[in-house]
Amino acid sequence: MNNLREEIKNMLSSIGDGRSSVSPYDTAWASFIIDHTDINGTSKRPLFLSCLKWIIDNQLDDGSWGEELVFCIYDRLLNTLACVVALTLWNTCLHKRNKGVMFIKENLRKLEGGEVVNMTSGFEFVFPSLLEKAQQLHIDNIPYDASVIKDIYARREVKFTRFPKDLIHTIPTIVLFSLEGLKDLDWQRLLKLQMEDGSFLTSPSSTAIAFMETNDDKCLTFLQNVVQKFNGGVPCSYPADIQARLWGIDRLQRLGISYYFEEEIKDLLEYVFRNWDKENGFFSARNSNICDVDTTCMAIRLLRLHGFDVNVLNKFKDGDEFFCLRGESNKSATVMFNLYRCSQALFQGEMILEEAKNFTYNFLHQYLANNQSKDKWVIAKDIPWESDFDNYKILPSQVSGRKWFEKCNFQQFGINKKEVLVSYFLAASSIFEVEKSRQRLAWAKSCILCKMITFYINQEATTWNSLLMEFNSYSDMSRKKSNETKEIMVLNNLYQFLHQLGKETYQDLGIDIHHQLHNVWEEWLMSLNNTPCQEEAELLVHTINLAAGHMTHDEILSKHTNKVCHMLNEFQNGQISNSSKARDIEFYMQALVKLVFSNTSSNNINQDIKQTFFAVVKTFYYTAHVSEDTINHHISKLKFFFRKPSNILM
């Protein structure tokens, strides 16, 4: 485990300009470049011989080029056609060329059933361009007049209407990533849209055609650097420093292991923040001259959740809709998914993110209603379960074991085994770190004990004063050993819990929390006779934080937590029904988000303490908005991870 952790730390600290897999397509375009240097009258040769060598060495057994373990027909055909053209251009390894042609001929028809969402970026531009190049080289046995090819040309014409020639030459657009697919360009005008590193929107293939047309030194320098860095196998985009950092952090969070790498994540986000473009947002690389909503929203969400001050953008809204890149023909579900996740980090008054939340929510639900779950990006498969909690992989038997349940006689207080499991599910969904089992158990058991106490007080007449008095004088645990009455049962259960939690915290951390723990529960018990009473949420927060050894709390956060959770309880119980009250809940939730994640507020409070407030409120929000059947479904999914699901509970 430690070795793996160190390996990941080393990877995070050495991201540099980002790493990505080799693109046979871009490698082929680099290999097209002719070395015009005259050496003793030799015939023409490739400027980047290592690129041609990579193509020769990396053909797959079926004759194609591409990712061996991932088959996307658009990507595989594009790669293979480019490599076939490269081998033909340099008249080498013709047997490999012929095998590639055969693959294209046998698989071209698969484009007819290809999912449009899986289409490679700019495919409608660049595939026809390669076909024309192949025809010029007299590569036979490719069905150039097939109906599916005609359909691609028709798609290209439609896409041309979205990008008028004058627009392409005037402002940076996504077309700069696929210049090799266009004709009749004014290259001197286009050079003004070149990035600082010499590339055209980080694309080696686009930069390769630009160099072939202009002999621009900056283009050449970029290509030389990329080819040398990757030993001939060129990626589809370089650099990818921003994307690599953001998606690396996101993946660690989704795996539930980001807490192992807090210092590394801080360094990565500081790099991202230093390169943050306040006016435009982000593309995959620093200093890009265009931005996309996917990378920008990932940056906004992660930066905000780590206390960085970043503002939202209006660039990606057109009328009532949001887009990733202007002129796109299809909206990616994964991009909309990331925009939806970003909208969860909105503060009060940020209408643009409120609108983004509503738009993406409707888009994703329609997407699922149409039985769609495919996308070319990596997290589309998770979209059907986004309402699920991300992390619920740890469910120890001790929390809901038969012994604890039966020993405490919870059945006599209207509590069943399922409620114990739900309580732990909510706790484990938010506090999933292995070493935080004490806090997790404190949360789950506190929920059950609160249910027990409120049930008892509601069922028994004139019990509140008696219970409170007994609690204050109940310091000798050995004084009452048998559960003679329900009151004694309640006091025994509560004191055993407080005593055990205090003991474990002292053993693990060397911090004595007995007195503070008694005080926060006494305060909650006293509030039960008030109207309104102190919310259970504040008690949970204080108990969890004390279990973590945090002896301080924040009055402002406590006030907001009580306010939000009180309203959520009313909402759940049907006491709030009109839309204005629901908007009030959202308003106070957004205020809480800002208090927790903005460094301008509660500066002296430990971030872990603030996170506990937010984690508890999120579970109240979840149970108020999600039906019991849905919660049961989420828990049943959790059980799937265990070899013997019958042993999870009891």
- What's the CATH code of the domain at 198? 1.50.10.160
Least confident of 24-28, 71-75, 572-576: 572-576
User: Where is the domain boundary, 344, 363, 385?
Assistant: 385
Least confident of 226-235, 304-313, 456-465, 494-503: 456-465
Contact 90, 124 (CB under 8 A): no
| Residues 372 and 425 placed together within one structural domain of the fold | no
What per-residue confidence (pLDDT) applies to 40?
62
| Residues 324 and 429 placed together within one structural domain of the fold | no
386 or 486: which leads in pLDDT: 486
What per-residue confidence (pLDDT) applies to 443?
95
| Residues 138 and 270 placed together within one structural domain of the fold | no
What per-residue confidence (pLDDT) applies to 359?
84
Q: What is the pLDDT of residues 329-353, one digit of tens each?
A: 556 788 888 888 888 888 877 888 8
In the predicted structure, residue 63 carries a pLDDT above the cut 50: yes
Largest CA distance in the chain: 108
| Residues 224 and 104 placed together within one structural domain of the fold | yes
Contacts of 417 (CB under 8 A, 6+ apart): 400, 405, 649, 650
Q: Amino acid letter at 411?
A: Q
What per-residue confidence (pLDDT) applies to 644?
36
Tell me the average pLDDT across 7-24. Answer: 93
Q: Is residue 392 part of a domain?
A: no
At residue 481 the predicted structure's pLDDT band, cuts being 50, 70 and 90, is low
Q: Helices 293-305 and 241-255, interaxial angle, to 10°?
A: 60
User: Where is the domain boundary, 327, 357, 385?
Assistant: 385
Tell me the average pLDDT across 224-251. Answer: 95
At residue 326 the predicted structure's pLDDT band, cuts being 50, 70 and 90, is low
Q: Which two tokens stand for residue 609?
A: 């303490």
Q: Is residue 77 part of a domain?
A: yes
In the predicted structure, residue 525 carries a pLDDT above the cut 60: yes
Least confident of 14-18, 39-43, 243-247, 344-348: 39-43
pTM of the model: 0.79
Distance CA 605, CA 553 (A): 8
At residue 318 the predicted structure's pLDDT band, cuts being 50, 70 and 90, is low
In the predicted structure, residue 465 carries a pLDDT above the cut 80: no
283 or 33: which leads in pLDDT: 33
In the predicted structure, residue 569 carries a pLDDT above the cut 90: no
Structurally, the chain folds into a number of domains equal to 3
Q: Helices 464-473 and 514-527, interaxial angle, to 10°?
A: 170
Calculate ∠ Cα 641-643-648, nearest 5°: 75
In the predicted structure, residue 219 carries a pLDDT above the cut 90: yes
Q: Is residue 439 part of a domain?
A: yes
Q: Is residue 222 part of a domain?
A: yes
Tell me the average pLDDT across 495-505. Answer: 93
In the predicted structure, residue 643 carries a pLDDT above the cut 50: no
Least confident of 33-42, 277-286, 448-457: 33-42
How many angstroms separate the first and last alpha carbons of the chain? Answer: 30
Contact 79, 64 (CB under 8 A): yes
- CA 607 to chain centroid, in Å, comes to 21
In the predicted structure, residue 354 carries a pLDDT above the cut 80: yes
At residue 254 the predicted structure's pLDDT band, cuts being 50, 70 and 90, is confident
592 or 209: which leads in pLDDT: 209
| Residues 490 and 636 placed together within one structural domain of the fold | yes
In the predicted structure, residue 444 carries a pLDDT above the cut 70: yes
| Residues 80 and 155 placed together within one structural domain of the fold | yes
Tell me the average pLDDT across 24-30. Answer: 98
Tell me the average pLDDT across 122-148. Answer: 94
Q: Is residue 199 part of a domain?
A: yes
| Residues 609 and 630 placed together within one structural domain of the fold | yes
Q: What is the pLDDT of residues 427-442, one digit of tens each?
A: 988 888 888 899 999 9
What per-residue confidence (pLDDT) applies to 341?
87
What per-residue confidence (pLDDT) applies to 6?
93
Coil vs helix vs strand at 601: coil
What per-residue confidence (pLDDT) applies to 393?
33
What per-residue confidence (pLDDT) applies to 650?
30
In the predicted structure, residue 272 carries a pLDDT above the cut 70: yes
User: Where is the domain boundary, 385, 410, 440?
Assistant: 385
- What CATH number corresponds to the domain at position 279? 1.50.10.130
| Residues 537 and 407 placed together within one structural domain of the fold | yes
Put residue 649 in one of left, alpha, beta given phi > 0 → left and psi -120 to 50 → alpha: beta
642 or 25: which leads in pLDDT: 25
What per-residue confidence (pLDDT) applies to 204?
97
Least confident of 64-78, 149-163, 393-407, 471-485: 393-407
SS3 sequence of 412-441: HHCCCHHHHHHHHHHHHHHCCCHHHHHHHH
- What CATH number corresponds to the domain at position 560? 1.10.600.10
Q: What is the pLDDT of residues 195-208, one digit of tens each?
A: 999 999 999 999 99
| Residues 401 and 381 placed together within one structural domain of the fold | no
Q: Is residue 4 part of a domain?
A: no
19 or 247: which leads in pLDDT: 247
Please state, rounded to an integer, the average pLDDT across all residues of the chain: 84
| Residues 442 and 570 placed together within one structural domain of the fold | yes
Tell me the average pLDDT across 222-238. Answer: 96
CB atoms near residue 148 (< 10 Å):
14
| Residues 635 and 601 placed together within one structural domain of the fold | yes
Distance CA 32, CA 54 (A): 13
What per-residue confidence (pLDDT) applies to 639?
55
Find the helix or strand (DSSP H, E) in which 166 lies. Answer: helix 165-170
Q: Is residue 413 part of a domain?
A: yes
What per-residue confidence (pLDDT) applies to 447?
94
Tell me the average pLDDT across 317-324. Answer: 64
Q: Is residue 502 part of a domain?
A: yes
In the predicted structure, residue 77 carries a pLDDT above the cut 90: yes
At residue 288 the predicted structure's pLDDT band, cuts being 50, 70 and 90, is confident
Q: Which two tokens stand for residue 491?
A: 């006091």
Distance CA 242, CA 570 (A): 43
In the predicted structure, residue 567 carries a pLDDT above the cut 50: yes
Domain of 162 in residue numbering reads as 22-229
In the predicted structure, residue 142 carries a pLDDT above the cut 60: yes
| Residues 45 and 125 placed together within one structural domain of the fold | yes
Least confident of 46-60, 146-160, 375-389, 549-563: 375-389
What per-residue confidence (pLDDT) applies to 486?
83
What per-residue confidence (pLDDT) applies to 338?
85
Q: Helices 437-459 and 536-547, interaxial angle, to 10°?
A: 150
Q: Helices 607-625 and 579-597, interaxial angle, to 10°?
A: 160
Distance CA 244, CA 269 (A): 11
Highest mean pLDDT among 296-300, 363-367, 528-532: 296-300
In the predicted structure, residue 478 carries a pLDDT above the cut 60: no
What per-residue confidence (pLDDT) applies to 119?
81
